[in-house]
Structure 1
Amino acid sequence: MRKRRSFAWLTLLVFPLLMLIAGNFLSEAEKEVAEAHVDATPIDHEAPEDDPYEAYSRFIIDAKESFYTPAMKEKTLSRGVHAPYEGEALLLQLQQKESAILVQRKWDIAYASLELMTSLLDFEFTWIVPQKEVLLVKTTEKGRIHTSISVHSRKALLEYEDERLYRSEIQLLGETYLNEHQQLMMPMEDLLGITGYDIAFSGGDLLEISSPKNGDPKMHILSYLDMNNKNAEEGYYKELEKNQTDQEVRLILLGDMGLGTSYGRKNPFDEKWVEYGGGHFLSHLKKDFDAADLVITNLENVFTERKATQPDKIYTYKAHRIDYLDVLKEGGITHVNVVNNHMVDYLQEGFDDTLSYLDEYGIEYFGTNLTKTDNIELGNIEVESYSVFEKDGFKVGMLGYLGFNTSFVSDEKILEDLRMMKEVEKVDYIIAAMHWGGQNTHEVGWRQKQMGRMLIDNGVDLVYGNHPHVLQEMEIYKGKPIYYSLGNFLFIDYKSARDPDGAMVTVELKKDGFGEISTSLSHTPILWSGDPVKNTYMPLRTEDPFLIRRTLDKLNVETTAPIHLK
């Protein structure tokens, strides 16, 4: 009797202890299941030892263990817009701006509208959170596919469920987005990988979709997960992300720049250059230049040691010192147009010397002239040069020509250069610098109007004029700017400030993922002489409201606020 009471007493002591241990064990197990990290499975559901996709699989104890909440599962899944799809393959035409957008290109990737692709690829679609997150469900003979996709995300959650659950967060080829019709767009290749299809053929704007070659959507999806994981580990998606951002280029346009004097004579500028150095003269605007990717001016003199000049020419300009080039280099000038009426001053040899020195100082140049003329002031210097600036894949091309009545570039040459820019260099934006018009007049001539608009008609994005040495009007033609003259910027041969008003034009270019470019133009009035009366050789912004208004009126611009063009 005493033995039985002792056993019962022992049982009463041990049983709660066993329950406590079991409770702790079960709590830990449930916690692991909830976090989708269960490693042990019952024998009758145990995965084969050689299962290559064990990393993605999770044993299903309860439907609640899915990352989808019960609220999501209670949603009524609706079919998408129906479209005909017969046979084993579907042929799609890529569309850019149709009212019902099936496929779009962005960053040169084919994106698919999930709403319009639902019936075609046989999955169900619903917004979990309106305009923010979507749920895709696809049922096959062997299992169900669940995918959760958010707007403005480069990731998605993917589950494949048969007797087991395979789950992974996948990386997308590009960020999802809402198009202009509020349709959720995601990379086509990812959509096909998730829903169990292949791209059978891709050529031009045609895309053929077919069932996976092995006929097993599960193996197709798990292989897709493997490849996705491998690409992520190798940094493939990080590199894609760097290239899939809106691209920006900022450039500054300036008027005529002359660092030469008649026959290269020494003048007071040289004393200042010796005392302060080349970086002194553009120091008032250096902060603006440093914030720009390109700073462009028209160079109105040559750099050469030669003596032979163009016979009977009225003005022959060359720099007193070759080292005056440090005014450009240290001042922040990056690009110069070299085709103008002073390139002939010291004949072809003197002009070729100039190009060599520009190369030596690291200043980019551009301009083409192959036209013969009897005009002594223009001469027959031959040059064929252009410049292409590239930043993060955004390319800006620069061309330069003469546009005078007696010497002007042919339409055939312009078309040839534009084809080269677009088809060979594949630039995004083209600037044409034109040396044209009458000197010291604010009136725009008929040839300036004719040539400026012709350039825009044939594909130039911005026309930039020089030579008059004073400001002339700017006009927007077919949504693109034509600056007929930006006047002077720095001209050291002038002692006084003849018509001191000048302008610094800041052009901000933005290219979005579809390759569409928007342009912003800002106009900053400057005194090219640095003073309303005398020439200080130091251009600077003007703060005088009267001078600001006078400058803007000459440009035919209402305000200094940016002008936005699309």
Structure 2
Amino acid sequence: MTLRLMLVGDLVLDEPKADFFFDLSRDALGEADILVGHVEVPHTDRGTESVGDIPAPGAPPENLAALGRAGFHIATLAGNHIHDRGADGIADTVEGLRALGIETTGAGANLAAARAPAIVARGGLKIGVLSYNCVGPKEGWAAERRAGCAYIKIISHYEPEGANPGGPAKVYTFADPDTVDAMAADIAALRPLVDVLVVAFHKGVVHTPAHLAMYERAVARAAIEAGADIVTGSHGHVIQGVETYRGKPIFHGLGNFVVVTKALSVEGNDSPERKAWAIKRKVLFGFEPDPDYPLYPFHPEAKNLILADCLIGDDGSVSAGFRPGWMTPAGQPEVLGDDPRGQAVVDYVARIGAAAGLKTRFAWDGDRVTFS
């Protein structure tokens, strides 16, 4: 028996009638034996707004039910916004997902809970998932007696190019060895319990196509060296390239899937802090959201989507692949196949990967794209 494991990127369900946004992808998602997605923001009516980043508003708790109806089985939670409503927000989100039968990993009432894996059994195989936030803020990191997310601490160093203090700089980023060792210990503990082990990172530079920060390939490879079979990334709100390492797939950035929100819009934003960030990020990252996408205020290239689609053999072997997709103006991801539109997205993935220094080969396998 072959199992189909599908993984999508960020999920932000701020808007009412959340089921609508899955309607174009529902049939494709239904092909998954196990479906994993990253829940970006807390779903709660409680809590106090956190500090340390530009906090997202709490999403309606009732919107989580749309994930259950779309067929999700596991939610990764380690990210820069999961603590935006504090411990109450994390507790409500975890409880709301688990009440729907969706296992969670990456955030909890303390660090031990945040580092605990999600495990789902299907067809005689067990799939385990771990989730880590690489992008901060530190206020959202879990501790022994503090709710938050599991994390990898990244250190940034800016070195001016040439004799130009304060001028253009090369950015060096490194993962703190202690936190990498903690991740490796989690992987080692989970490895004998599962047949396939997934590590999901919240990593990268937001709104920046075709770019991998220096630490990204290093932490992905460290996870595989420790025993992971599949590595995925989210956070950037644009997709990034894919590659293999030691025969294992790395999806550097799955980008957005269903991400519908007005919190990042300039017009009609009732939060002065979020409105100021919505204006500033356009300058920082050099893009203008498409006005035809009112619920999707992201980089125009973020319309390109991928859905990781891995086939798992009886022996736990992994055949890596993805399905291309496209975001519609209504905020609905549409999953594409082997046709001109799908090929255009595959060409985009190949182009941004090459620009980031990846050397990946692609081939169609039905409506799925394999890579090596």
Q: What TM-score results when the alignment is normalised by the length of structure 2?
A: 0.70
Q: How many residues in Structure 1 have an aligned counterpart in Structure 2?
A: 285
Do 1:337 and 1:366's aligned partners in 2 also have CA atoms closer than 8 Å? yes
Quote how far apart the aligned CAs of 1:398 are. 0.6
Conserved in 1, the CA contact under 8 Å of 2:240 and 2:349? no
2:320 maps to 1:521: yes
Is the aligned partner of 1:330 residue 2:84? no
CA contact under 8 A between 2:44 and 2:92: conserved in structure 1? yes
| 1:362-394 superposed Cα distances (whole Å, 9 cap, x missing partner) | 2221125899xxxxxxxx997233111212321
Partners of 1:315 and 1:286 in 2: CA distance: 30
1:560 matched residue in structure 2: 364
* Residue from 89, 93, 96 that aligns with 1:350: 89
Residues 378-436 of structure 1: CA distance to partner in whole angstroms, max 9, x if unpaired?
A: xx99723311121232111111112241586713322322232133x2x1111000111
Letter in structure 2 aligned against 1:469: H
1:438-476 deviations in Å (ceiling 9; x for gaps): 111221111111111111111111111111111111111
8 Å CA contact 1:298–1:337 kept in 2: the answer is yes
Alpha-carbon distance in 2 for matches of 1:410, 1:349: 26
Which runs of structure 2 are paired with 1:166-245 in the superposition (5 Å)? none
CA distance in 1, matches of 2:11, 2:200: 14
Tell me, in whole angstroms, the C-alpha distance in 1 between the residues paired with 2:345 and 2:231: 25
* Cross-structure match for 2:335: 541
Query: What does 1:413-428 align with in structure 2 at a 5 Å threshold?
Result: 413-423=182-192, 425=193, 427-428=194-195
Confirm or deny: 8 A CA contact 2:224 2:248 kept in the other structure.
yes
Matches for 1:380-419 after TM superposition, within 5 Å: 383-404=114-135, 405-406=154-155, 410-419=179-188
Equivalences for 1:94-493 in 2 at 5 Å?
Answer: 247-260=1-14, 269-270=15-16, 273=17, 278-311=18-51, 313-319=53-59, 321-367=60-106, 383-404=114-135, 405-406=154-155, 410-423=179-192, 425=193, 427-441=194-208, 442-493=210-261
**Cα distance in 2, alignment partners of residues 352 and 363 from structure 1:** 14
Cα–Cα, structure 1 residues 496 and 422, in superposed 2: closer, same or farther, change >3 Å? closer
Residues 411 and 490 of structure 1: CA distance in aligned 2, closer, same or farther (over 3 Å): same
SS at match of 2:2: strand
TM score, norm. by length of structure 1 = 0.47
Cα RMSD after superposing both structures: 2.6
Distance 2:32 2:76 in 1: 18
Q: CA separation in 1, counterparts of 2:231 and 2:344?
A: 28
DSSP 3-state at the match of 1:324 = helix
Displacement of 1:554 after TM fit? Answer: 3.1
Contact 2:90 2:107 in 1 (8 A): no
Distance in 1 (CA, whole Å) between partners of 2:181 and 2:66 is 37
Q: Structure 1 stretch 323-332 or stretch 310-319: which is displaced more?
A: 310-319
CA distance in 2, matches of 1:368, 1:355: 8
**Superposition deviation, residue 291 in structure 1:** 1.8
Give the counterpart letter for 1:521 in structure 2. A
Q: Distance in 2 between matches of 1:550 and 1:430?
A: 28
Matches within 5 A, 1:64-75: none
Which residue in 2 is equivalent to 1:505? Answer: 308
Residue type at the aligned position of 1:518? S
Amino acid at match of 1:336: A
Q: Please report how far the alpha carbon of residue 338 of structure 1 lies from its aligned counterpart in structure 2 after TM superposition.
A: 0.5
Larger Rg: 1
